[in-house]
Structure 1
C-alpha cells in the first residue's frame, strides 16, 4: 500500500499521520524545516475533545502533562464581570494548557515508535501534479513522491494553497499583540484563565492571562500601533509584568509580537489533496479555535482516506471532507470574527457601544451576556452533513451555554462517560475502532442489529455496544440520553451519524450506507 503523503510535521500533520497508521495506512510526512525548533508557547489551549483524539493516536501524554484549568474570569478595569466553569464529564480534563512545542515533541516521540509513519525533514514540497490514480509531489531537494492522497498541513505560509489555485479570502487585523511566556509563583491563579478589558495597567486595551505547567504563565497584551518589542526590552516589559504580578520574582522565557488573521480557504479539497489546519483556515486566538479545529480536520481526513484506500468505502467519502470541515471552519470564523468586532471595534460607534456594554455589566451582572471575550472551542456539529441521517424526534437544539454539554442529536459528538472495569476507562475509547451501533437495553434481535454488512459494505468495521452491558445500573444510558427503543449509529470520529427510534435492518443499513457516502450502491472493495 502506497503511503499517504502528509505535508508538514506540526501538530496537525503528525496527528493525521498517527491516525492514518492507527487504521493500518502508512503515512509519509514531508517537512520543509531541517529539524524541529522549540519556540515559545504558541498554541497552548487544548480542548477535551482534541485531547480525546490525541489519546486515540497514542499521545495521551499531552493530557497528562498539560495543566488543567477550570475557571474563566472576565474583568472590566478592576471589576469582575462574570466567570464560568467547564462542565466535567469523563476522565479527561475539560481543557489543558501546554506549549505547542511540547505537544509537537510528544507527537513526534509517538511517531518514532510507529513503523507506519516516516518523517522526512528538510523536504520542501514545491509542486503537485494529480491524475486519476494519485498525486505526484515535487520536492526542492530530492526525488518526487507518489501518493494516493495528500493531507496538506503546511501552516499559513504561501505554498501548497497557491500551487492548487485555492483562494484564501478574509481579513488581517492591524492591531498588534505582545505575547510573553514567564515563570512566576502566582498563588490562586494556577487554574484560572483571566481576561481584562481596559485594565488600569493597559488602559483602552485588553490583557489575557493563561496558566501553564511548571509555574509558567502566558500573558497577551493588546499594544498600540508601532509597538516595538526591541524598545520594550529596555525596561518597559518589566514595568508591564510588574503591573500584573507585583514585586514577585519572575523569569521571561519567551516574548514575541503578532497580529491576527481571519481567513478560510475557498476550498479545502482539490481532487486528492485535502487542506487542514492553518493551511485551510486562520482565526483570531480568542476562544482557542485554531489548533482545536486543525486536529479535527486531521481526524476527519484520516478516517475517510483510510476507509477509502482499504476498500471499505467509495472515493465519494473523501469528497465529503470539504463539506464537513469547511462548514466547521466557517463557524469558527463567524464566532471569532464576532469576538474581534467586540474586542477591537473598527468604528467610533463600535467603541462607544462596547464601553457602554462593559459599564452596564459592571453595574448589573445580569447584562453580562452581551460581553464577548471569546467562546471557547467546541466540536463542530455535522447536522447538515451528507453523511448524517436526520431524525425529527432528535433535532439539534443550538449551542448550549458556555461550558455546558450538548444534547444528543444526529451530527453531534457522543457525550463521553466514564466506565467501570473492562478494557476502557471511558466510552469514547470504544468508539474509534470503526462504526458503532449503540443500542438501548430493550432493542431485540428482531431489529436486525446483529446483521452483518458484508453485502453492502465489504469489510466495513461495525460493532454493537449495549450500554446496559457496559453499566448494568443503567447509569451510562441515562448519562448519554439514550432513550428506550433507540439505536445510535456512531461514526469513527465519535459523532452520531444517525439516531433510529424504530430500528430495523433496512433503516440501519441505509444509515450506514449514508454515513460512508455510499447510499444506493456499495463500495467495490478495491483500492482507488
Structure 2
C-alpha cells in the first residue's frame, strides 16, 4: 500500500527539498541520554534493520515500545515536547489485566507498589448511602490500583531508558508522513524511516491529522473541576466514593478517589463560571488540614477515529479514541491498544503474518473502543442527562433507590474479541486468557492427556524474546511433547471465562494460521 507524502505547516525548508534519507541526522533534545544511538535510524541502525517508529512518549507509546523490545524489535520513540511533563494525576485507575500487561515488561508490580489498592466503592444519593460494591480479593494483582498516570509514565520512562532497543527522543515533533511500503516521518529535527508506526500522540494527534483520518463524536457542555488534594479523610481503608446531589453540592455530583501519599483526587461537576473555594473543599474535608496540589477544569469528549490502521500506521490510545473517565476506560484501553498492536507488528516484521493481521488491529480495537464509548455514553446520560426524559429517569432511579440502574461508571473490562476473524469459534476455540506466557500466541497443554494416559503440564510459547519461534507450534512440536491435543491462547486477552476447548493437531495448525491473519481458506492449506 502506497500513500503519498503528507506535510504539515512546520516542516523545515531544507526538508521540503527532499534531502537523502540516508544522511546522518542530528539528535533532538533528550531528557535522559538513553542507550539508543540518537542518530540516523536510531535504535536498530547498528543491526542494519529499520525500527518501528512510535510517536508519543506517554504511557501508551512507552508500553508499546517496551512490548516490541521484548519481542526483539527496535523502536524510536518520538515526543514533540522538549521534556517529560509530570503535572497532575490525570488517569489513576489501573485494571488488573493492564497490570498483567505491564508485568510482561517488568513494571506491573512497581505500578502496584506506587499506588493505592482499593476494593470497595460507595455511592450516595443526597445524605444516604445507596450502593456498596465489594471487588473480589483474588490471587495475583488487585482488581484496580490507583496509581497516577504521571507516576505510571515515570516508571515506564525509566524502564525504556534502560532498554537498548529503545531510542527515546524528546523535541522531535512530527510534521509530515509518507508511506511507500514502509513509513517515513518528517520531523523538525530530521527524517526517519521505519517498517511500521504506532501513533500514540494523544487526542490532538498530529499523525492522525496528517493521515486525514477523521475523529468523529461529540463533546459534553458540562464542566468538571478536578483537583489533587492532600488530606486525611479519616476513612478506615481506601475506597471510591461517588455522591449524587449531595447537600453540600446540590443538583450535581462529586467523585472522590484515594491516591498515594495521602492525596485524594476529587471531581466536581460545576456550572459555568464556577471557582473552587475553601468552602467547597471543606464540605468534603471538614476541619482537617488540606493542601491543594493541582487543579484543572475540563469537559468530556466521546470520539473515535474513523480508521485505526492506515497502511503500516496504527493509531493507539487517545489518538484513536477519547471517552469520559467514569469507569476508568481511557488509559486502560490505550494500553490494550498497544498490546494488540505490538505483537501484530512483530509478526508482520518477521514475515509470519497473514495478509489480514494488521487490518485486524482496526477491527478488534475499534470494536473495543465502540464498546467503551457505548458504556461511557450510557454513564454520561445518567450523570449529565441532556433531555427532560433522561432527567426524569435519573430522578426516578435515585429517589426510589433502584440500585441496579444507578450508573456512576461501569468499571473497565478487557474486550474479549469473540467476533474477531482471528478467533476460531466452536470446537477448538481460541481461548484468550494466557497473559502470563508473553506476547503473541501460546500453545498451552496444561492438564491435557497424553496418549499414555498421564497428564501433561507444559507451555510452548509462540513469540519469544528474539522474535517468532515456530518450535512447539506445529504437529511435530506436539509429537515432541507427547501430546494429542492442545489449546491455543492469545496473550493479549485475559478472559478466563471463555470455553477451554482444546484442539487436535490439525485444528491447532489451522487455528494458529487463522489467528496470525490468514483467511479460513488459507488457514486450511
Question: Is 1:52 aligned with 2:94?
Answer: no
Q: Could you tell me whether the CA contact under 8 Å between 2:443 and 2:459 is conserved in 1?
A: no
Any idea what the Cα deviations from partners look like across 1:348-402, whole Å, max 9, x if unmatched?
A: 22112111110111xxxxx31011111000100100001101126x9xxxxxxxx
Aligned ranges 1:147-158 → 2 under 5 Å: 147-158=194-205
Bigger proportion of residues as strand:
2
Aligned counterpart in structure 2 of residue 179 of structure 1, from 212, 226, 229: 226
CA 1:22 to 1:65, structure 2 compared with 1: closer, same or farther past 3 Å? same
State how 1:25-64 maps to structure 2 within 5 Å. Answer: 25-60=73-108, 61-64=110-113
Indicate the residue corresponding to 1:364 in structure 2: none
| 1:507, distance to aligned residue in structure 2 (A) | 0.9
Structure 2: distance between partners of 1:192 and 1:515: 40
Taking structure 1 as reference, are residues 502 and 375 closer, same or farther at Cα in structure 2, changes over 3 Å only? closer
Find out whether 1:371 has 2:406 as its counterpart.
Answer: yes
Q: 1:283 aligns with which of 292, 317, 323?
A: 323
- 1:356, 1:458 → 2: CA distance? 56
Q: CA deviation at 1:446?
A: 10
**Selected match of 2:388 from 341, 348, 356:** 348
1:441 aligns with 2:448: yes
> In the TM superposition, what is the alpha-carbon distance from 1:49 to its structure 2 partner?
0.6
TM-score by length of 1: 0.82
Corresponding residue for residue 475 of structure 1: none
Deviation per CA, 1:47-85: give whole Å up to 9, x if none. 111111111122121122111011111110111111112
- The aligned residue for residue 88 of structure 1 is 137
User: Is 1:460 the equivalent of 2:470?
Assistant: yes
8 Å contact kept, 2:436–2:491: no
The root-mean-square deviation of aligned C-alpha atoms, in Å, is: 2.7
Q: What residue is the counterpart of 1:72 in the other structure?
A: 121
Cα distance, 1:458 vs. partner? 8.1
The whole-number CA distance in structure 1 between the counterparts of 2:66 and 2:432 is: 21
- Whether contact under 8 Å (1:154, 1:279) holds in the other structure is yes
What is the CA deviation profile of residues 217-239 of structure 1, one whole-angstrom value per residue up to 9, with x for unaligned ones?
00000000233xxxx3xxx5211
Aligned residue runs from structure 1 range 230-241, under 5 A: 232=275, 236-241=276-281
Alignment partner, residue 174 of structure 2: 125
For structure 1, the 5+ residue unaligned runs are 362-366, 395-409, 415-426, 465-484, 524-528
| Pairing 1:20-419 to 2, within 5 Å after superposition | 20-60=68-108, 61-132=110-181, 134-140=182-188, 142-188=189-235, 190-227=237-274, 232=275, 236-361=276-401, 367-391=402-426, 410=429, 413-414=432-433
TM-score (norm 2): 0.82
| Contiguous gaps of at least 5 residues in structure 2 | 1-48, 475-483
Q: CA offsets, 1:499-526, max 9 Å, x none?
A: 6746321111111111111244489xxx
Output the CA distance in 2 between the equivalents of 1:435 and 1:280.
28
* Aligned-residue offset at 1:256: 0.6
**Alignment length (residue pairs):** 458
Greater mean alpha carbon deviation, residues 176-185 or residues 78-87: 78-87
Instruction: Provide the rounded CA distance (Å) in 2 between the counterparts of 1:252 and 1:188.
Output: 19
Alpha-carbon separation, structure 2, partners of 1:502 and 1:295: 29
Aligned to 2:492: 493
